[in-house]
Structure 1
Amino acid sequence: MDKIKLGAVCITLTALAGCQSKIKIPQINDNESNTQEVQSQGYFSEVKTALTKLNRMIKSSEKDRLGYYAPQEYRDALSSLADATEEYNDITQNGVSSLNIFKSESEQRAIAKSTMLRHIDDANKNIMAAYILKETAESALAEPLKQQKRLNGLNLEKFFPKEHKQYNKEINSFVEKIGDGKLAQVKQAVPALVTKMTATEVKLVKKIELGTINIEISTLAKNKPQKYIPTSYQALLDSRDFAYAVINKDPRDTQSIKKAVAKVQFQLDHATHIAQEVASLAAKKDTAFEAYLLNNQKFVHELSQALNSEDLRNQPSIEQLKLLKVTAIARLNDKTSETKLINQNTQLTSQVSQLEQEVVELTDAQTVTLDKLASYKMMVEQLKTAEALNAANLKAQELARQLEQERLKTAASVQPAASFAPQTDPAGDLKVDSPQTDVLSEAQNSAVLPLETLVEAPQQQLSVNEAAASQAQVQATEVEQQAPQQVSVTAEPLAKIVEQAPLQVDSNAAKAQLNVKQTTEAVAEKIATVKEQAKDITQQKTVQSEKKLAEQAVESKSQAKEQAAKKVEQIKAKSE
């Protein structure tokens, strides 16, 4: 009975697919040269736009398999599209509708337009209904469809074609039931289908991963391994059972499955070699046993020599192997210790190199520090020199002030006597100013220059004073010549003044010249003394600063070396 139902379902699906394939949708006729008036009015432009949009939707829906999830709705949509396209081509080619020949042209156009829009609307509704059924089926059958994709990826059809066909039929049946509105019934049946498909996946993974190994195990089992190699054979079966358990737990845990399968392969190779050895011994005669044992003993002896062990052939075979095991472990431990020592030595060497680098850096830092100290020392020298010069300048200014006071006193002591005062005219009240007073005052003032200039250039000032004295003599001569013209009444007193004026000027000029020379020499001597004192003080401070900086540099270098030595000693102590 079930077979009859399945056959009916298959026939129905085939018929639907055949109907869908038989529906031919006409192409929209773009050659509308005979209906230019209709086109100009744009009467069917709305229909043409709707048809173009519907055709695009139908074309894009092909990849969504709407014919599989909703075959009836998809077929109805194609049929409505074909009817609307046929009516559109008819009205645009002939100008009238062949379906309503008894109606007027305007009525035919109106009816045709309404009919075409109705067909288009029906097609759109069927497409939307098909998409809804598709989404419903994909949601309800999410797990079976996912499992089906997984099984197809593992090539289920190749290893188990019967199960492949069965699952496809069941899923197709569920899709059809969902289209018939039996969604609740499908949801109840889905869990059982998923369980069966999961079991098939486990069986499929076992077949893929252990199929070849199981064939080899079956071949080995023909030689009665339970009798001749029971231990090795049981280890092989246990490893296979473990691999089965891993696959049963999670057939998609690829990494764990690969490791378990590799263990089974190892045990299979081991059991096979043991079976071959047992068969070889069973085939040997009694006289061949000694040669067999000596040959094995030879390999053991070569191994002991490679391990630098003594000759163990005087021991039983099992004892030889035990002693070799102990020797190998000892050599391995020695090798491990040697490796550790090498690593430690490498680390210590690295640390020493690092310390050496630090010493180099400290030395470089010390060099930089010494350079900075030298720079600071130069700055200190410059500051000291500036301070000494400033002090000398202050002292020189003080001396200049004192000399200025002495000069003023000297100048006051050489002022003209009362004879240089103006004389009264014996004949009346006529007063005549004495030009000698102005000449002497001018000579004295010209002989005295600012003290700063005397300090900076005493020789040049001396020349200036000598020139001033000469000028005073010239002026005195001019006064002598002009006196008779200016004074006519008191000729005799003025003559005496004129006679005494040159002598007085010469005396004042000589005194001024001597005073300037003495002052200049005294200032120069005191400046030289101050400079020598400042130089001595600066040299003493410079020597002290250099000595102190040198001591600091030596001390810094000594400390750096001590620190480096301490680090090296610590590293050596750790290595010991």
Structure 2
Amino acid sequence: MKKGLTLSAIAVTVLLSGCASDSDATKTLPLESNQSEISTQINSIAQSINQAKEKLSNAKADDLPWFATKHYQDADKALSDAKEYYALFETDPSKARSSTGFFSSRTNIQATEDALNQFNLNIAKAEMIREKALSVLDEAFSYRAQLASLDVNEYYPKTNARLDTQLQTLVNFIAEDRTERATSGQPDLVSRQRALEVKTVTRIYLSDAQKELARLKTSNTALHAPDTLAVAATRVTAAEAFIGAEPRSINEIEDKAAEAMFSLQHAEHIADVVQQLKALPEKDYERHVLTFEKLLVNISKALGSDDLRDNSINQQGKLLVSLIEEQKTQSSEGEQSLQQLLAQLTDEQKKVTELEASLTAEQQASVQTSEKMKQLEAKVAELNTSLVAAYTQASEQSEDLAQEQETASEDETALEATEKAVAEEPALVEAVANEEVPEEAITEKVANETIEVEAADVESAPQKLTAEIEPEAAS
């Protein structure tokens, strides 16, 4: 006994020394570096846990608990373990590297990471099983979705539950890598699913007609209108057969169900009339026939026909049918004429639209031409103004120049005339000097010569002025 206690004490001592050595080794690390590393790991684990929660929620939405129940449950448990370990050091980071147990070498942070790894592994396996099952058992899952769209659980919940269990068994075969077993079991399941689909569609769309048929068979309708009821029963049977062949052709199924119900109601009305006829005494037969004939007369009046009571009742009916068909033909022809008129009107409207568009284009072109004309007229007016200004300026300059030239010319002419007179008429000068010829004679002669020079200048002035104006106007 003492020996056992001694061995136990030694083992405890070794473990404690090992823990102490680990603690000493941790203490030898730089404090700031150690805290930073732990903080980074804790943050990373917190993010991983949040991601795992979201992934588990998505897995549930993807129906993973149904496809891979065991793997989903294992993943859920692993996530719970990870959250428990994380809670130990979430608020106290110093416990992150603490041992998970007295005899365990794993730390809390290692245990959390291991649990998260197990979670991800199980989720991955569950998703793989789901994808493979959907691929291998594609037809069975297609019928399962169709049954769900019909809300089959509202009508046949137990049958649908059995089929779901059978399908899950095939999925479990796939999870166990027994794919061939799952494939071989699919045809039987699909057959059952299709039968349930037909049964559900029949109940949804034809159950009222089936119930009505069963009621009429047990009522007086079968007695008084057996042939009409047989026709209605045939319609119901045809609708059932169509649903069995094409349970997803809902529009056609609704039409056939309506036809069956119509026939059943007709059979009931015929039975009521027959029953009433059977109950009539012989003296009321004539009154009944006249009542019926009165209906035919009202119809003929409404159609604008003559009184047809000089014909048998059957003949009256035939004549009324012919009249209705004739009026329908006329109405059809009128409708065709109306359609033709509408087509012609449409063509005319199209032509009017095209003409309006053409006129609009021409108006736009006219507006553009008018604007160009206005621009040209403005430019011409501007040029005219410039030309007048230039002409006026040139005239003024010409007048000033002519005046200056005239003044200078007068002086020069007088001087030249004097010189000329002096040069050409020395005798006259001498005569003037000797006072033999008066001085006014010399002056008069000079003046005459000056007038002749000015007249020559005036004659050439318009040509010079025109030569000066034209370059300015051209510019």
TM-score normalised according to structure 1 size:
0.53
The one of 296, 304, 329 aligned to 2:292: 296
| Cα pair distance change 1:243/1:514, threshold 3 Å | same
SS of equivalent residue, structure 2 residue 310: coil
Does 2:229 align with 1:233?
Answer: yes
Distance across 1 between alignment mates of 2:83 and 2:416: 144
* Alignment partners' CA distance in 2, 1:270 and 1:278: 12
Alpha-carbon shift at residue 159 of structure 1 (Å): 2.6
CA distance in 2, matches of 1:178, 1:360: 72
Question: Take 1:160 and 1:128, find their aligned partners in 2: how far apart are those partners?
Answer: 35
Q: Relative to structure 1, is the Cα distance of residues 468 and 132 closer, same or farther in structure 2, using a 3 angstrom cutoff? A: closer
Equivalent position SS for 2:305 = coil
Distance 2:192 2:69 in 1: 28
Conserved 8 A contact 2:96-2:109 = no
Is 1:492 aligned with 2:430? yes
C-alpha offsets along residues 393-442 of structure 1, whole Å, 9 cap, x if unaligned?
xxxxxxxxxxxxxxxxxxxxxxxxxxxxxxxxxxxxxxxxxxxxxxxxxx
Alignment match, 1:410: none
- 2:128 is matched with 132
Query: Which of residues 246, 250, 264 in structure 2 aligns to 1:268?
Result: 264
1:75–1:475 CA distance, 2 compared to 1 (3 A): closer
CA distance in 2, matches of 1:172, 1:359: 73
Residue 102 (structure 2) aligns with:
99
| Alpha-carbon contact 1:480-1:498 (below 8 Å) kept | no
2-structure distance, mates of 1:240, 1:141: 35
Answer whether contact 2:414 2:450 (CA < 8 A) is retained.
no
What is the deviation of 1:263?
2.1
Any conservation in 1 of the 2:99–2:106 contact (CA below 8 Å)? Answer: no
Instruction: State the partner residue of 1:146.
Output: 142
Deviation at 1:243, TM superposition (A): 2.2
Q: Tell me if 1:328 matches 2:324.
A: yes
Q: Is the counterpart of residue 217 in structure 1 residue 217 in structure 2? A: no
Residue of 177, 186, 192 corresponding to 1:190: 186
1:477/1:75 CA distance change after superposition, 3 Å: closer
Change (3 A) 1:337 1:144: closer
Amino acid at match of 1:241: T
Query: Whose Rg is larger?
Result: 1
Aligned counterparts of 1:479 and 1:115: Cα–Cα separation in 2: 142
**2:172 aligned with 1:169, yes or no?**
no
Q: Which residue of 2 aligns with 1:205?
A: 201
Alignment-derived partner of residue 248 in structure 1: 244
- In 2, Cα distance between equivalents of 1:128 and 1:477: 134
Q: Percent identity?
A: 21
Gaps of 5+ in 1: 1-34, 101-107, 384-451, 524-576
| Other-structure match for 1:535 | none
In 2, Cα distance between equivalents of 1:60 and 1:217: 55
TM-superposed deviation, 1:197: 0.6
CA spacing shift, 1:123–1:467, aligned 2, 3 Å: closer
Equivalent AA in structure 2 for residue 269 of structure 1: Q
User: Quick one: structure 1 residues 187 and 495, their matched pair in 2 at CA, closer, same or farther if it must change by over 3 Å?
Assistant: same
Structure 2 equivalent of residue 156 of structure 1: 152
1:93/1:365 Cα in 2 relative to 1: closer, same or farther (>3 Å)? closer
SS in 2 for 1:310: coil
Question: Which deviates further from its counterpart, 110-119 or 60-69?
Answer: 110-119
Contact 1:47 1:117 in 2 (8 A): no
Q: 1:356 and 1:52 mapped to 2: Cα distance?
A: 72
Give deviations 1:158-189, integer Å, cap 9, x for gaps: 33344223213312333444444433212110
How far 1:506 moved relative to its partner?
A: 5.2
Name stretches of at least 5 consecutive residues in structure 2 with no aligned partner: 1-22, 381-393, 463-475
- Shift in alpha-carbon separation, 1:303–1:79, aligned structure 2, 3 A: closer
Residues 337 and 112 (structure 1 numbering): CA distance in 2 closer, same or farther, change over 3 Å?
A: closer
Secondary structure, counterpart of 2:248 in structure 1: coil
Q: CA deviation at 1:194?
A: 0.8
Shift of 1:258: 1.9
Residue 300 (structure 1) shift: 1.7
Larger RCO, structure (CA 8 Å, separation 6 or more): 1
Using the size of structure 2 for normalisation, the TM-score is 0.63
Counterpart Cα distance in 1 of 2:118 and 2:292: 91
Q: 1:289 to 1:56 in 2, by over 3 A?
A: same
Structure 1 residue 493: Cα displacement: 6.7
Q: 2:254 aligns with which of 252, 258, 267?
A: 258
Deviation for aligned residue 1:111 = 7.3
SS of residue in 1 equivalent to 2:247? coil
Q: What SS is found at the alignment partner of 1:311?
A: coil
SS of the aligned residue for 1:492 comes to helix
Shift of 1:155: 3.2
Distance 1:311 1:298, change over 3 A: same
Q: Corresponding residue for 1:61?
A: 56
Contact 1:236 1:267 in 2 (8 A): yes
The offset of 1:320, in angstroms, is: 1.5
- Contact 1:465–1:513, Cα closer than 8 Å, also in 2: no
Report the CA distance shift for 1:255/1:353 in structure 2 as closer, same or farther (over 3 A): closer
The letter for the 2-side match of 1:492 is E
Report how far residue 510 of structure 1 moved. Answer: 6.3
RMSD, aligned α-carbons: 5.4
In structure 2, C-alpha distance between the alignment counterparts of 1:505 and 1:319, rounded to whole Å: 145
Q: Does 1:281 align with 2:277?
A: yes
Q: 1:489 to 1:478 in 2, by over 3 A?
A: closer
Asked whether the 8 Å contact 2:49–2:83 carries over to 1, the reply is no
Give distance in 1, aligned partners of 2:142 and 2:293.
61
Deviates more, 1:291-300 or 1:141-150: 141-150
Alignment partners' CA distance in 1, 2:337 and 2:139: 60
Q: 1:44 to 1:184 in 2, by over 3 A?
A: farther
Kept after mapping to 2: 8 A contact 1:476/1:502: no
Residue deviations 1:139-160, cap 9 Å, x none? 3334323322322332333333
Q: Deviations over 1:255-287 (max 9, x none)?
A: 222222222222223222222222222222222
Matched residues in 1 for 2:356 and 2:173: separation?
88
Take 1:331 and 1:225, find their aligned partners in 2: how far apart are those partners?
A: 37
Task: Answer yes or no: is the 8 Å Cα contact 2:225–2:271 preserved in 1.
Answer: yes
How has the CA–CA distance of structure 1 residues 285 and 261 changed in structure 2, closer, same or farther, with 3 Å as cutoff?
same
Contact 2:300–2:307 under 8 Å retained in 1: yes
Give the structure 1 partner of residue 312 of structure 2: 316
